[in-house]
Amino acid sequence: MSNVLRIALVDPNDATREALKKVLLGMDTVWLEAECSRYEFFSDVIAQTHPDIGLVVIDANPDKALDLVASLGEASPECAVLVVSSSTDGNLILRAMRAGAKEFLAQPLRIEDLAGALSRIGERRFGRRDGKARGSQVIAVAGATGGVGTTSIAVNLGCALAAKDTNNVALVDLDLCLGDADVQLDAIPEYTLLDVAQNVTRLDFSLLKRSLTKHSSGLYLLPRPVQLEDAALITQEDIQRVIGLLKASFTHVVLDLSKSYNPVDLIALEMASHILLVIQLDLPCLRNVVRLMASFKEMGNLADKVKILVNRAGLEQGQITLKKAEETIGRQIYWQLPNDYRTMIEVRNNGVPLILQAPKAGITHAIVALADALHGDEESIETVGATKSGIGRLLSLWPNK
């Protein structure tokens, strides 16, 4: 995959090296290029394999290991060094950073900490080289009110993203009481979000994937709990760790939020790279958008991540105009999806996503184009929103009346 980080590992301790290998081999966003059991040979390994990251476990001999880190900075400056140690002594951390380490992680290794460190290294290195961050994208799909089609959009967007060979996509149903993403995919999951949340501290990446339900489109699904009362057992901390784990294993994580904007939803919004706020061109939706945006502006940078998506555009002549809607909410519409009731009812009742059931339909092309826009770099995403080129291009895809 184009967003894979190549890693070389050195650790003289066989037990900890094997444990780290197991974690790394379970991550789809990294490739274990080489491993080494001797500090003195690792420089040659780096010179021969040219990895993006050199992961150095320093516990066997901290002095020799830190000398290695310093020498790697001189001999292979293109290789970012990540140091791992069971010690959290401040002086040791300072020595490691002065030697040239880009990140310092403590043993036992938390998966989300490793994922975060890899993401930061990837952004620093590859963001400058090709303009694209290699970290996972988290796309939260939220509605301005009920019944605007957020789950249909989340499911079909996830399937459209998963159709690309370079992507690995997970969909999480965060409507903990009444979510129906599994129904729209005609799936009978063995495990739910509750199972993963309650065992997240014991999961590795291979076990995580076995806990998800894989659809024929390539999309992985993590559905809501079975029983209504189980929703109360899932905490904000659980969701934070689950999303962190998914980010480490998938290129894209799509979150289908509830309409209550409860604490779980707010954590999902905070962790999202993009927030697709789904609306229809009617007064209740526009009123709620104004309220939501006012609240988001008080919550850090949430408002900056919001992209307004109009669903069922062209539904009736009595709809509020696009220009009036933008004036009301004070920001531009990012994307429009045309109204195609017949096709959407058919795919929902059959439990088959658009790209499989109706690949030539206008609504399908619109969803695929949205996936392409979100999959692109930040500059192209903002250009689509600013120029409305995406909207104009989709007008010709609307079904004939």
Mean pLDDT of 348-360: 95
% pLDDT > 70, the chain: 89
Second-level CATH architecture of 5-130: 3-Layer(aba) Sandwich (3.40)
Is the Cα dihedral 343, 346, 348, 353 positive or negative?
Answer: negative
Axis-axis angle for helices 150-162, 362-375 (nearest 10): 70
The answer to whether 236 and 153 are in contact (CB under 8 A) is no
SS (H, E, C) 72-133: HHHHCCCCEEEEEECCCCHHHHHHHHHHCCCEEEECCCCHHHHHHHHHHHHHHHHHHHHCCC
d(CA 63, CA 61): 6
d(CA 13, CA 111): 20
Cis ω on the peptide bond leading into residue 108 (within 30° of 0)?
yes
Residue of 4, 233, 220 whose CA lies nearest to 122 = 4
Residue of 121, 45, 56, 42 whose CA lies nearest to 95 = 56
- pLDDT tens digit string along 232-268? 999 998 898 899 888 877 889 999 999 999 999 999 9
**pLDDT class for 399, splitting at 50, 70, 90?**
very low
Q: Give the residue extent of every domain in the chain.
A: 5-130, 137-395
Question: Can you give the length of the chain in residues?
Answer: 401
> What SS3 class is residue 209?
helix
Q: Do the domains spanning 5-130 and 137-395 agree at the CATH topology level?
A: yes
H or E segment at 384?
helix 378-387
Provide the pLDDT for residue 318: 64
Contacts of 317 (CB under 8 A, 6+ apart): none
Provide the pLDDT for residue 126: 55
Mean pLDDT of 84-99: 95
- pLDDT tens digit string along 287-323? 999 999 999 999 988 999 999 999 999 876 667 899 9
Flag whether pLDDT at 205 surpasses 50.
yes
Rg for the chain (alpha carbons), in Å? 23
d(CA 106, CA 108): 6
**pLDDT class for 142, splitting at 50, 70, 90?**
very high
Number of Cα atoms under 13 Å in the Cβ half of residue 203: 26
Tokens matching residue 396: 């010709």
- 252-to-111, 168, 206, 360 alpha-carbon distances in Å: 17, 6, 17, 24
% pLDDT > 90, the chain: 70
d(CA 372, CA 164): 10
Provide the pLDDT for residue 401: 36
- pLDDT tens digit string along 219-235? 999 999 999 999 999 99
Does the 137-395 domain belong in CATH 3.40.50.300?
A: yes
Mean pLDDT of 128-144: 71
Is the Cα dihedral 213, 30, 139, 218 positive or negative?
Answer: negative
Flag whether pLDDT at 276 surpasses 90.
yes
Tokens matching residue 210: 């076995």
Contacts of 396 (CB under 8 A, 6+ apart): none
**pLDDT class for 120, splitting at 50, 70, 90?**
confident
Strand order in the sheet with 53-57: 30-36, 5-10, 53-57, 80-85, 103-106
Distance of CA 191 to the CA centre of its chain: 20
- Work out the end-to-end distance of the chain between its first and last CA atoms, rounded to an integer number of angstroms: 42
Flag whether pLDDT at 127 surpasses 70.
no
Provide the pLDDT for residue 1: 40
